[in-house]
C-alpha cells in the first residue's frame, strides 16, 4: 500500500489516478495548504476507484504513526512541499520548516515503522546556473534560491539514510517543468493564489481571469530572446513515478531527471497553446524576472536506460485545455 503525501496537489492528484488504475491501494495525506478536498471525488471518478484521504500535515508525527499503524504502508511517494521560488526568498524559514523538517519527520516515522521505500519529488532547480546543457544527473548542484536548497537538503538526507541503512531504497526524481492536465479536464493545476508558473498563468489569461500574460524578458540568449525550459506533460511525469516504484526493488539512493530533453521558449509555448486551443493570449513584454535562468533542459537518458521511461506526449497535446 502506498502513502502519497501531497496527493491532492497538482502532480500528486495525477499520480494517484495512475496508481489506482495500476491496482495500487493508496492512502493520501495532505494539509490542503495548496489544494482542495473535492479533488478526491474527481480522482475517484476518473479512476473509478476509492482511496483513503487523511487531512493532515506531514510534520505531525503522531498522525503519521497512527497512519502507519492503521494501514499496511510499504512505500511512500513524497510530493508534499511548498514550491514557490519567490516566496521561499521572502520566507525561507517557512520553506525549511515545511520541506526539510517535514521530510525529516516523515523519514523518522517511516524508519520507526520499518518502511524503507520512498520516491521523492525533487526539482531541476537543484542544479542552479548551467555549467553545461543539457543538465545530466552529474551536473553540479548549486541551487540559487531557498526552495532549491530545501530540495537539495532532502536529497542529501535520503542519500545518507541509504548509506546508513543498506535495506533502504530512495528514488529522487528531478522534475523539469510539468505542464498540462488529465484529459478529462476534471483536475489540473489549480493553485490557490495567482500562479507563479508560466502554464497556469497562460490558462488563467485564456479563461479571462487575468488580463494578459507578462513575458518576463525578451533579451535572453535564446532563439527569440525569451526564457527556454523543458516542459513535460504531467501524465508522462506521473508514469515516471510508476517506473520509479518498480525501481525501488533496487536498494540504495538513485537520482533521475524527468524531462523531455527539448527546450521550448516562452513565445513557443504561448504559440503552441494558442494553436492547440484556438485562442489568443494577450501578452506584454516586461523586464526579466529576478532570479530567472536564461535556459535549461534535461538530459533524460538515464531515466530511459534505467527506468525504461521517457516522455512521449507532444507539446501541442500537453497544451490542450481538455480533450
Ligand atoms: P502542489 O502545491 O500542487 O502540491 C503539493 C501538495 O502538498 C498540496 O496539495 C499541499 O496542500 C500539500 N502540502 C504541502 N505541504 C504539506 C505538509 N506539510 N503536509 C501535508 N501536505 C502538504 O505542488 P505540485 O506542483 O503538485 O508539486 C508536488 C511536488 O513536486 C512538490 O514537492 C514540488 O516541490 C515538486 N516539484 C514541482 C514542480 C512544479 O513545477 N510543479 C517542479 C519540480 C518539483
Ligand atoms: C518558465 C519561463 C519565466 C511566468 C520554476 C521553479 C522550478 C520548478 C518549476 C518547482 C521562464 C517565464 C513565467 C510568467 C513568464 N518548480 N514566465 N511569465 O522559472 O523554470 O521554474 O517552476 O520545482 O523550481 O524555479 O518556471 O513556469 O515560472 O517560468 O514569462 O508569468 O516562463 O521567465 O522563462 P521556472 P516558470
What's the gap in Å between 156 CA and the centre of ligand 1?
A: 19
Instruction: Tell me the ligand closest to 296's alpha carbon.
Output: 2
- Tell me the residue length of the chain: 323
Specify whether the CB–CB gap between 205 and 260 falls below 8 A.
no
Residue pointed to by grid coordinates 503519521: 64
For the record, the C-alpha cell of 155 comes out as: 536529497
What's the gap in Å between 223 CA and the centre of ligand 1?
A: 32
Distance CA 151, CA 269 (A): 27
Ligand 1, pocket-test mutation among 3, 9, 37, most atoms within 8 A of CB: 9
For residue 113, what are the β-bridge partners? none
Instruction: Tell me the ligand closest to 195's alpha carbon.
Output: 2
What's the gap in Å between 258 CA and the centre of ligand 2?
A: 16
Side-chain-side CA neighbours of residue 310 (13 Å): 11
What's the gap in Å between 6 CA and the centre of ligand 1?
A: 6
> Residues 2-15: pLDDT tens digits?
999 999 999 999 99
Instruction: Tell me the ligand closest to 222's alpha carbon.
Output: 2
Neighbour count for residue 241 (Cβ, 10 Å): 24
Q: What is the pTM of this model?
A: 0.98
Q: Which residues of the chain have pLDDT under 70?
A: 322-323
Cβ of 196 below 6 Å from ligand 2: yes
Cβ of 215 below 6 Å from ligand 2: yes
Specify the pLDDT at position 189.
87
> Residues 204-218: pLDDT tens digits?
999 999 999 999 999
What does DSSP say about strands 264-265 and 228-229: parallel, antiparallel, or unpaired? antiparallel
Specify the pLDDT at position 191.
72
- 147 assigned to active site: yes
What are the distances in angstroms from CA 48 to CA 18, 189, 323? Answer: 11, 21, 19
Side-chain-side CA neighbours of residue 252 (13 Å): 3
Among 82, 83, 71, smallest CA distance to 109 is for 71
Q: What architecture is the 2-180+231-260 domain classified under in CATH?
A: 3-Layer(aba) Sandwich (3.40)
Ligand 1 contacts (CB < 6 A) are: 5-6, 8-12, 29-35, 57-59, 79-83, 98, 102, 121, 123, 175, 177-178, 197
What's the gap in Å between 82 CA and the centre of ligand 2?
A: 15
Specify whether the CB–CB gap between 195 and 141 falls below 8 A.
no
Residue pointed to by grid coordinates 484521504: 53
Specify whether the CB–CB gap between 304 and 238 falls below 8 A.
no
The H-assigned helical ranges of the chain are 10-21, 39-47, 61-70, 85-90, 92-95, 102-112, 146-164, 198-206, 234-247, 266-277, 301-302, 315-318
Catalytic residue among 10, 127, 135, 147: 147
Cβ of 254 below 6 Å from ligand 2: no
Spatial CB neighbours of 146, under 8 Å, sequence gap ≥ 6: 88, 89, 92, 95, 96
Amino acid at each position: 500500500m502506498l502513502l502519497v503525501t501531497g496527493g491532492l496537489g497538482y502532480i500528486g492528484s495525477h499520480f494517484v489516478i495512475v496508481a489506482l488504475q495500476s491496482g495500487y491501494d493508496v492512502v493520501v495525506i495532505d494539509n490542503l495548504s495548496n489544494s482542495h478536498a473535492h479533488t478526491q471525488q474527481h480522482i475517484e471518478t476518473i479512476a473509478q476507484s476509492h482511496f483513503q484521504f487523511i487531512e493532515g500535515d506531514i510534520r505531525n508525527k503522531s498522525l503519521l504513526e497512527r497512519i502507519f499503524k492503521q494501514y499496511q504502508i510499504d512505500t511512500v511517494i513524497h510530493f508534499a512541499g511548498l514550491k514557490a521560488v519567490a516566496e521561499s526568498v521572502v520566507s525561507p524559514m517557512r520553506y525549511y520548516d515545511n520541506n526539510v523538517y517535514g521530510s525529516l519527520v516523515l523519514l523518522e516515522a517511516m524508519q520507526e515503522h520499518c518502511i524503507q521505500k520512498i520516491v521523492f519529488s525533487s526539482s531541476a532547480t537543484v542544479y542552479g546556473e548551467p555549467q553545461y546543457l543539457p543538465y545530466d544527473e552529474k551536473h553540479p548542484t548549486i541551487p540559487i534560491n531557498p526552495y532549491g536548497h530545501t530540495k537539495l537538503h532532502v536529497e542529501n538526507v535520503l542519500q545518507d539514510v541509504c548509506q546508513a541503512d543498506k535495506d533502504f531504497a530512495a528514488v529522487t526524481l528531478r522534475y523539469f517543468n510539468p505542464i498540462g492536465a488529465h484529459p478529462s479536464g476534471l483536475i489540473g493545476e489549480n493553485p490557490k493564489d495567482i500562479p507563479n508558473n508560466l502554464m497556469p498563468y497562460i490558462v488563467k489569461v485564456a479563461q479571462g481571469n487575468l488580463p494578459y500574460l507578462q513575458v518576463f524578458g525578451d533579451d535572453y540568449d535564446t532563439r527569440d530572446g525569451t526564457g527556454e525550459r523543458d516542459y513535460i506533460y504531467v501524465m508522462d511525469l506521473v508514469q515516471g513515478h510508476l517506473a520509479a516504484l518498480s525501481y525501488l526493488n533496487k536498494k540504495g539512493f538513485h537520482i533521475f531527471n524527468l524531462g523531455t530533453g527539448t527546450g521550448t521558449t516562452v513565445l513557443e509555448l504561448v504559440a503552441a497553446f494558442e494553436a492547440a486551443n484556438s485562442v489568443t493570449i494577450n501578452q506584454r513584454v516586461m523586464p526579466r524576472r529576478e532570479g530567472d535562468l536564461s535556459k535549461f533542459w534535461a538530459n533524460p537518458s538515464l531515466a530511459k536506460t534505467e527506468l525504461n521511461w521517457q516522455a512521449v506526449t507532444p507539446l501541442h497535446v500537453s497544451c490542450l485545455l481538455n480533450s
